[in-house]
Every structure is written in structure tokens, then in C-alpha cells.
């Protein structure tokens, strides 16, 4: 018997839509046919079937009520209005058929009865939606600004804002955990809508738990319902938040677990708890690796650029959002140290300079410091040896140096350790080899020796 009750109850969401469809269809046809009255025989049949299907919806709804454990206070309005809708559907049938049983309604127009029928079906549906999705199910999807304008209480949606500089000072609960709960859980667990008797809007409410007891166990995330329910597969009936709600990311769930394992503190910083940075990396914005300084610069003169390009040197904007330039001598291999002076009118705007494959020599390092915003410097395939390379350490923004296919000597490599922002040096096919990296011991500069070889795979041996 219990199985039958549960089965009938599970059919309620299917059958409940039948009377809605029949009644709406009947009302639409009545309005459409209000002048010609060409469907007077069809309308009574539609409302008769509306009545039958409404009775079936009431039976399955009652089965769901007793089989799923709903409190009567929760379903009583929906139940009684549903019964009223079924009865009224039969009244509409009798009125349209002009049966004597409803003669007392002879003075009531069919239009009035149609309006009452529409109100009943609408109110019944609304009460059903309230039981399933909560009292604010129609309001919940609206933006907080609209909710506030309508007079509804809102809970601020807050992003997790961390940086490389402040992540350890951030309060774990206030700055990390609370935003996750506000954004993903509060809509169902707040003072106006507490599913399972659980509130998550305050410290006291979280510690109190729900109708089944506490939802967090200090230092034991794996035994805490708040965490374990989030980790369940989405198709699991016990997964939270339920399907259709905004879901927390894997990284957010991991942070909930880390917070509980740390003793679920409400007043300690990340640094005080000695939590690892990798937990928070997904929430620390990555700085763009631009090939130009993070500063504003005026645009270079268009006439100066045209004059330089006439000599065969290519000049182009690095990006549409910046006035910094990339300058390349790829089309002018005869470029010499003396030709460098032609670039001086745009010296402040040059961030990327490619002198690869030209006739420059070590003497060029006397002039390069004039490019104060130089970020990327390519000196490959030239006569550079590294002599006096230390004179470039005043380039405060230099991040990348390419000296591949040159005679850059290993004794000059150690001079690069004093460069303030230098991150990468390309030395493939120079006298420098991997064992020479000890010259930069303790430095963050990465030496790229090139000569990479891909491992052979099975497909490489196939003969076509």
C-alpha cells in the first residue's frame, strides 16, 4: 500500500497540469467564440474533462501529501482550493449544458463564472508552486535591486575578492565563506524561507543547524552535512543546492571543507589559520602578462612613425588599449648602431624592440637605456657577445631578453642577476649551456636553453 501511495503521489506533477490545460483551453475558446457561438457543444465537454482530471489531480496530490510526509498546514490551502477547482469545473459544465442542477446560477453570467474559474486555477497553481519552491519562488530570480524596489528583503550577493597582496589578511568567514553561502545557499535558508529548518544567514543560525541537528562538525568536513551534501552528485535527491539553483564550484566546495576542517572559525584570517595559498588561487585575479609597462603613455607622433617606417623599420601598436609600440627590423637586416638614432622620436613609446638578424654590435647597449619603457628586447642572430650588458640594468621594465644564435659569453650571464624585472633570457645556440645556470643562483630569472625535443609516439612510425 505504501508503494502505491508513493507511486500515485509521484504522478501528481503530471496529472496536475491536465485540469490547467483543459480550463485554459475552455476559457480561450469561450472568449474566441463569444460572438458566433459555434462551439457550444464542445465547451461543456472540455470543462467536464477538466473536472475529471482535477479530481485525478486531487487524488494523486493527497497521495503525495500522505506519502511524502508533508505537514497539513503546508498543503491545506492548495488542497482545498484544488478541490474547489474540480467542483467548479463541473459547475461550468452544468452551466454550459443548462442542467437543472445549477438553475440557481441562472442569473450569473458565464463570463463571471469564467473569471472565477481562472482565479481558482491560478491560485491553486500558485499555492502548488509555493509548496514546491517556497513562498518567494516568483520573486527569487529577480535582481536584488528589483527585489528591494518591490519591498522584499534581500541578501547581498558578494564576490570573493582576494589579491596576491592581501589574501593572508582576508577574514576566512567574512571574505570567503560568507559570500559562497550568500550566493549559493541563502535563497533557500533565510528567515523567510528555511528549508529543513536550516538558516545560514548568521553565525548563530549556522551553529544551530536544522531540524535534523547540526550541519557542521568542527574539524571534520567529511562528517558535516553542509559539506557532504554539496559534494553529492547533482542527480542525487540529497544534493544541495537542489537542481535548478545556482551551484557552487568545486573550488568553492573545497573552501567550505577547508573552513570546517580548520574548526569553522568566524573571526580569523587566512594567515592565522596557516591555510595554503593554492586553495585561494582560483579567486585571485591573474595579472595580465602584457609586453608593456602598466602605465599610461601619450601616443607617438604619427609623422614620426611614418618617417621611421620609410627607412624600412616596421612600427605597430602593441594593442588597441595602449599607446605602446612594437618596433621590428625584420625587413631591414642592414640596420646598424648608427640607425638607432632614427628611433629616438618615439623612444618613450617603444616597449618591444626586435633587432634580430641585423648588423648591430655590443656598442648598441650604450643607446638602449634611452628606451625607458622597453619591456621585450630581441638581439638574436647578431654580433652581440654580452660585453657591457650590465648597462641595461637601468631598464626598469625589461622582462624578456633574446640572445639566441649569438656569441653571448657565459661570463656575462651573471651580470643579468641585478636586472630588476628580468624574467626570461633565451640563450639557445650560444656558448652558454645548462651547467652555466649556477651563475644566476638565487635569481628568479629563467634561462631558456631551447633545443626541445618531443617524445616519439606510435603514430610517428606509421608509413602512409
Residue 426 buriedness (CB in 10 A; 0-12 / 13-18 / 19+): buried
Nearest to 79 by CA among 130, 128, 133, 119: 128
- Residues 340, 439, single domain; the answer is yes
- Residues 309, 361, single domain; the answer is yes
**Do the Cβ atoms of 251 and 283 come closer than 8 Å?**
yes
pLDDT grade for 134, boundaries at 50, 70 and 90: low
**Does residue 457 fall inside a structural domain?**
no
**Do the Cβ atoms of 351 and 376 come closer than 8 Å?**
yes
More confident residue, 144 or 164: 164
- List Cβ<8 Å contacts ≥24 apart for 204-211: 206/181, 206/264
Q: Looking at residue 152, what is its pLDDT?
A: 63
Among 220, 248, 283, give the residue marking a domain's end: 283
Domain encompassing residue 67? 2-133
Other Cβ atoms closer than 10 A to 228: 16
Tell whether the model's pLDDT for residue 17 goes beyond 60: yes
**Does residue 254 fall inside a structural domain?**
yes
- Residues 276, 354, single domain; the answer is no
Can you tell me the distance from the alpha carbon of 216 to that of 439, in angstroms, rounded to the nearest whole number?
54
- Residues 266, 371, single domain; the answer is no
- Low-confidence winner among 54-63, 73-82, 125-134, 182-191 (lowest mean pLDDT): 125-134
Counting DSSP H helices and E strands in the chain, the numbers are 12, 9
Q: What angle do the packed helices 42-68 and 72-97 form, to 10 degrees?
A: 170
Other Cβ atoms closer than 10 A to 303: 9
Instruction: Give Cα 52 distance to the centre of its chain.
Output: 47
- Residues 393, 319, single domain; the answer is yes
Can you tell me the distance from the alpha carbon of 253 to that of 259, in angstroms, rounded to the nearest whole number?
10
Arithmetic mean of pLDDT, 350-364? 96
Q: Looking at residue 438, what is its pLDDT?
A: 53
Q: What is the pLDDT of residues 159-200, one digit of tens each?
A: 888 988 889 999 999 999 999 998 888 878 877 677 788 888
**Do the Cβ atoms of 226 and 199 come closer than 8 Å?**
no
- Low-confidence winner among 42-51, 61-70, 246-255, 379-388 (lowest mean pLDDT): 61-70
Q: What beta strand segments (E) does 320-386 contain?
A: 325-328, 350-354, 376-378
**Does residue 153 fall inside a structural domain?**
no
Task: Tell whether pTM > 0.85.
Answer: no
Q: What is the dihedral of CA 236, 238, 241, 243, to 10 degrees?
A: 40
- Residues 100, 218, single domain; the answer is no
**Do the Cβ atoms of 260 and 217 come closer than 8 Å?**
yes
- Residues 203, 97, single domain; the answer is no
Q: What is the pLDDT of residues 408-443, one digit of tens each?
A: 998 888 888 888 889 999 999 999 887 655 556 667
Q: Looking at residue 148, what is its pLDDT?
A: 62
Q: What angle do CA 175, 180, 184 make, to 5 degrees?
A: 155
Arithmetic mean of pLDDT, 374-396? 95
- Residues 308, 389, single domain; the answer is yes
Report the chain's mean pLDDT, rounded to a whole number. 86
- Residues 261, 337, single domain; the answer is no
**Does residue 295 fall inside a structural domain?**
no
Provide the sign of the torsion angle of the four alpha carbons 347, 363, 380, 429, taken in this order. negative
Can you tell me the distance from the alpha carbon of 208 to that of 199, in angstroms, rounded to the nearest whole number?
8
**Does residue 150 fall inside a structural domain?**
no
CA–CA distance from 214 to each of 183, 208, 375 (Å)?
21, 6, 56
DSSP 8-state code for residue 210? B
Tell whether the model's pLDDT for residue 233 goes beyond 80: yes
- Residues 231, 312, single domain; the answer is no
- Low-confidence winner among 91-95, 188-192, 232-236 (lowest mean pLDDT): 188-192
Q: What angle do the packed helices 2-10 and 42-68 form, to 10 degrees?
A: 130
Q: What is the dihedral of CA 22, 26, 29, 30, to 10 degrees?
A: -170
Arithmetic mean of pLDDT, 280-289? 82
Number of separate domains in the chain? 3
CATH number at residue 327: 3.80.10.10
- Residues 185, 269, single domain; the answer is yes
**Does residue 141 fall inside a structural domain?**
no
Cell of 153: 528583503
Can you tell me the distance from the alpha carbon of 26 to that of 87, in angstroms, rounded to the nearest whole number?
16
**Does residue 424 fall inside a structural domain?**
yes
- Residues 268, 211, single domain; the answer is yes
**Does residue 26 fall inside a structural domain?**
yes
Amino acid at each position: 500500500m505504501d508503494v502505491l501511495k508513493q507511486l500515485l503521489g509521484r504522478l501528481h506533477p503530471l496529472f496536475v497540469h491536465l485540469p490547467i490545460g483543459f480550463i485554459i483551453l475552455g476559457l480561450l475558446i469561450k472568449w474566441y467564440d463569444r460572438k458566433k457561438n459555434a462551439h457550444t457543444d464542445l465547451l461543456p465537454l472540455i470543462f467536464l474533462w477538466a473536472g475529471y482530471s482535477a479530481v485525478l489531480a486531487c487524488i494523486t496530490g493527497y497521495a503525495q501529501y500522505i506519502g511524502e510526509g508533508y505537514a497539513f498546514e503546508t498543503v491545506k490551502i492548495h488542497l482545498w482550493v484544488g478541490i474547489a477547482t474540480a467542483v467548479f469545473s463541473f459547475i461550468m459544465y452544468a452551466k454550459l449544458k443548462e442542467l437543472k442542477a445549477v438553475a440557481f446560477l441562472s442569473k450569473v453570467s458565464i463570463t463571471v463564472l469564467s473569471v472565477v474559474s481562472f482565479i481558482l486555477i491560478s491560485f491553486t497553481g500558485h499555492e502548488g508552486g509555493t509548496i514546491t519552491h517556497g513562498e518567494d519562488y516568483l520573486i527569487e530570480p529577480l535582481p536584488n535591486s528589483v527585489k528591494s524596489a518591490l519591498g522584499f528583503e534581500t541578501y547581498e550577493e558578494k564576490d570573493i575578492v582576494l589579491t596576491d597582496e592581501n589574501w593572508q589578511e582576508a577574514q576566512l568567514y567574512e571574505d570567503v565563506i560568507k559570500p559562497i553561502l550568500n550566493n549559493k545557499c541563502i535563497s533557500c535558508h533565510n528567515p523567510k524561507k528555511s528549508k529543513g529548518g536550516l538558516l545560514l544567514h548568521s553565525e548563530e543560525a549556522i551553529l544551530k543547524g536544522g531540524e535534523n541537528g547540526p550541519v557542521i562538525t568542527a574539524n571534520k568536513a567529511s562528517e558535516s552535512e553542509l559539506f557532504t551534501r554539496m559534494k553529492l552528485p547533482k542527480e542525487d535527491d540529497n544534493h544541495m543546492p537542489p537542481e535548478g539553483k545556482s551551484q557552487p564550484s568545486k573550488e568553492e566546495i573545497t573552501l567550505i571543507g577547508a573552513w570546517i576542517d580548520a574548526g569553522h572559525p568566524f573571526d580569523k584570517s587566512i594567515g592565522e589559520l596557516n591555510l595554503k595559498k593554492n586553495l585561494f588561487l582560483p579567486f585571485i585575479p591573474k595579472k595580465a602578462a602584457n609586453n608593456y609597462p602598466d602605465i599610461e603613455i601619450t601616443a607617438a607622433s604619427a609623422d614620426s612613425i611614418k618617417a621611421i617606417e620609410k627607412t624600412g623599420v616596421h612600427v605597430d601598436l602593441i594593442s588597441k588599449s595602449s599607446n605602446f609600440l612594437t618596433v621590428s627590423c625584420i625587413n631591414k637586416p642592414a640596420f646598424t648602431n648608427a640607425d638607432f638614432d632614427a628611433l629616438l622620436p618615439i623612444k618613450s613609446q617603444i616597449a618591444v624592440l626586435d633587432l634580430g638578424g641585423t648588423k648591430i654590435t655590443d656598442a648598441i647597449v650604450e643607446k638602449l637605456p634611452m628606451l625607458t619603457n622597453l619591456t621585450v628586447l630581441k638581439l638574436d642572430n647578431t654580433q652581440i657577445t654580452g660585453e657591457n650588458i650590465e648597462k641595461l640594468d637601468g631598464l626598469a621594465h625589461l622582462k624578456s631578453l633574446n640572445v639566441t644564435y649569438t656569441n653571448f659569453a657565459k661570463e656575462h650571464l651573471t651580470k643579468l642577476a641585478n636586472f630588476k624585472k628580468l624574467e626570461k633570457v633565451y640563450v639557445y645556440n650560444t656558448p652558454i649551456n645548462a651547467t652555466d645556470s649556477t651563475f644566476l643562483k638565487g635569481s628568479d630569472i629563467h634561462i631558456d636553453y631551447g633545443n626541445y625535443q618531443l617524445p616519439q609516439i606510435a603514430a610517428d612510425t606509421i608509413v602512409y
